[in-house]
A and B are shown apart, each in its own frame.
Chain A
Amino acid sequence: MRTTVSIVLLAVVILGFGLSLLDVPFAERKSQIGDYYIVNGRDQTGATNIVTSVVLDYRGFDTLGEITVLFVAALGLGAVMAAAGGRRERPSTTEPPSLVLRTGTNVLFPLLILFGVYIFVHGHLTPGGGFQGGAIIASAFLLVYLCCRERRINLARKTAADSLGGIVFVGLGLVGLAVGSRYFLSDFLPKGSLDTLFSAGMIPIIYIAIGIKVGAELAGVIDDLLEETE
């Protein structure tokens, strides 16, 4: 019964989706706004990576909403996990990690952090950015959890890093509102010379803030989820 209803529903979805797609040509220019960004993006924002200039400059307010969603979801996960029983200490009966795993983690952890920082510092020049770099930093913490379950992230420092990222983002936006072109997140810093690390105004600073915030939040999510599995 359930499967039949599902298949009928899917057939309707296929029909609707397919019929509307017939009018959308593949591999041709469809939007003029994309052309505008590509042609003018480098001069207006100073970022070599046009996707970054769209994410953080033209649609910067959108990105603020995006990290708010991530923040609320991490908060909700923490609330759900703490709802019954609260945080417990991990049982000490887990198997001790092998020498290979322990040594490998010690070697790889700083390199992973370095790689994550590299990704989000160069977000305006190369593919990557705050979200990707933050995910790599969180994966470094996941590696530590896989290796040594008695080690945990410092929750106070995690919260501090999380808040710092958010405050820098919103604070820069408000400063832009005060001294820049009179709108939220307007770029008031000098653009610098194209294609160098110190360019693109405040885009790298915001991406560093986002990287720290996302890294802290995803590490907190991993911590919350591992808390319950014993």
Chain B
Amino acid sequence: MTFLHNYIYYIGALGLVLIGLLIVLAKHNLIKVIIGLSILDTGINLFIIAVGYIREGTAPIFSEPGLEPGRMVDPVPQALVLTSIVIGVAILALALGLAVKLHKEYGHLDLRKIKELRW
């Protein structure tokens, strides 16, 4: 039980990463693959935030008097996740644009039938 208590955030983030990876690897529909990429992205962001967490910590913002610096969570992972989210949006938009074009070209999004993408 202590193991779960200590590592539950890591386990949850890892679970999201694995679900995303499984979708990316095993699904045949390109839209589902893109959804999988998005879930993978979310899992990684959650993991980075969880690494910076401190027990009973507050947000690293001095929004009211009386907040001690010693109890604030690590701001560096949060700043990195801000970057990561923006990059994730960029990837999502580009991938969806390519999917639209592929659908125009082939009339479907089944990766098994699009020869150039088979593995």
Contacts and interface: CB of A to CB of B under 8 A. Distances in A.
B93 A126 contact: no
Interface string B25-57: 110000000000000000000000011111101
Which DSSP category, helix, strand, loop or mixed, fits chain A's interface? helix
A45 B84 CA distance: 23
Given A26-B10, A31-B76, A62 B83 contact: yes
B18 A14 contact: yes
Main secondary structure, interface of B, reads helix
B86 A50 contact: no
Contacts of A115: none
Interface residues of A, number: 64
A228 B90 contact: no
A174 interface: no
A125 B63 CA distance: 7
B5 to A, nearest CB: 9
Given A3-B26, A21-B10, A26-B6, A10 B91 contact: no
Interface of B: 6-7, 9-10, 14, 17-18, 21-22, 25-26, 50-55, 57, 59-63, 69, 72, 74-76, 78-79, 82-83, 85-87, 89-91, 93-94, 96-98, 100-101, 104, 119
